[in-house]
């Protein structure tokens, strides 16, 4: 049966929007991260409050799931952990309002935004892109998909991270400067968000360097936790 191009396009988008997102980490095309999005970080740095979200891109090749290791690249001397709430997009999303944003959320995940602070410091100072310091292989470990009804209120979630059993990062998503709806709406003004795309919402304070042999464990309260080993690139 021959269908008009518009009909085919609409059917494709409908099928994608209802697709199974359980394999989002393997099917994601892009990851957008929000920087400087926790009030405790702004206060700690005595930084001005951002007027709009500060957003960067990470490639899908940075994604890993439990069972794989975080690999510290040879080219970096200082790689740090950042625990975050991730938002998984369910359908094509362009120029949406904050009021409509949650209809594009297919679920959530716990995520780490591993960051080469040695590279990022120089990039910030010189006004250069963050791509290398944020987008290296294994820099985005994620959990399984968390359904919206399982998660509850995304703006009142306790995040925590331990290194070798010691609590390092603790925060709550109630401290977000730009919330989930704000971030989806803002990002969709500039680029189309697609099914399985991920938005990282930012990290609380105490993002500290890791080293070869460290074990990172992170969680959202008692709802979910994940664990990753860190090792140097061979």
**pLDDT over 70 at 10, yes or no:** no
pLDDT at residue 123 in the model: 87
With beta carbons less than 8 A apart as the criterion, state whether 85 and 113 touch: no
Least-confidence region, from 38-52, 56-70, 178-192, 204-218:
38-52
**pLDDT over 60 at 4, yes or no:** no
Helices marked H in 171-225 — which ranges? 180-190
**pLDDT over 70 at 116, yes or no:** yes
With beta carbons less than 8 A apart as the criterion, state whether 195 and 106 touch: yes
**pLDDT over 90 at 3, yes or no:** no
Cα separation, 43 vs 41, in Å, equals 5
**Which one is the CATH code of 18-232: 3.50.30.30, 3.40.50.300, 3.90.850.10, 3.30.70.890?**
3.90.850.10
User: How many CB atoms neighbour CB 50 within 10 A?
Assistant: 14
Residue 207: partners with Cβ closer than 8 Å, 6 or more residues away:
80, 81, 82, 115, 117, 169
**pLDDT over 70 at 5, yes or no:** no
Q: How confident is the model at residue 71 (pLDDT cuts 50, 70, 90)?
A: very high
**pLDDT over 80 at 2, yes or no:** no
**pLDDT single digits (tens) 168-217:** 999 999 999 999 999 999 999 999 999 999 999 999 999 999 999 999 99
**pLDDT over 80 at 220, yes or no:** yes
Q: Is 16 left (phi over 0), alpha (psi -120 to 50) or beta?
A: alpha
Instruction: Please give the structure tokens belonging to residue 105.
Output: 């959320």
**pLDDT over 70 at 223, yes or no:** yes
- Cα→Cα distances 24→30, 65, 122, 159, Å: 11, 11, 32, 21
Cα separation, 228 vs 69, in Å, equals 6
Count of alpha carbons within 13 angstroms of residue 109, beta-carbon side: 30
Backbone φ and ψ for 6, nearest 5 degrees, come out as: -65, -40
Backbone φ and ψ for 167, nearest 5 degrees, come out as: -70, 125
Share of the chain above pLDDT 90, in %: 85
**pLDDT over 60 at 159, yes or no:** yes
pLDDT at residue 120 in the model: 86
pLDDT at residue 20 in the model: 80
Q: How confident is the model at residue 125 (pLDDT cuts 50, 70, 90)?
A: confident
């Amino acid at each position: 049966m021959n269908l008009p191009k518009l009909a085919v396009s609409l059917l494709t988008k409908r099928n994608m929007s209802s697709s199974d997102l359980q394999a989002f980490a393997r099917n994601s095309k892009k990851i957008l991260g929000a920087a400087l999005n926790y009030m405790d970080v702004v206060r700690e740095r005595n930084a001005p409050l951002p007027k709009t979200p500060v957003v960067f891109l990470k490639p899908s090749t940075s994604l890993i799931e439990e069972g794989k290791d975080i690999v510290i690249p040879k080219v970096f001397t200082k790689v740090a952990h950042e625990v975050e709430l991730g938002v998984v997009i369910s359908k094509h999303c362009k120029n949406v309002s904050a009021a409509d944003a949650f209809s594009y959320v297919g679920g959530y995940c716990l995520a780490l935004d591993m960051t080469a602070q040695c590279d990022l410091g120089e990039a910030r100072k010189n006004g250069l892109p963050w791509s290398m310091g944020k987008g290296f292989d294994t820099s985005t470990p994620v959990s399984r998909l968390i359904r919206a009804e399982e998660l509850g209120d995304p703006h009142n979630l306790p995040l925590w991270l331990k290194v070798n059993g010691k609590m390092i990062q603790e925060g709550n998503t109630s401290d977000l400067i730009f919330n989930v709806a704000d971030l989806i709406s803002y990002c969709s003004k500039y680029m189309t968000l697609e099914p399985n795309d991920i938005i990282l919402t930012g990290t609380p304070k105490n993002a500290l360097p890791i080293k070869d042999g460290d074990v990172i464990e992170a969680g959202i309260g008692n709802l979910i936790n994940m664990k990753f080993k860190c090792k140097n690139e061979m």
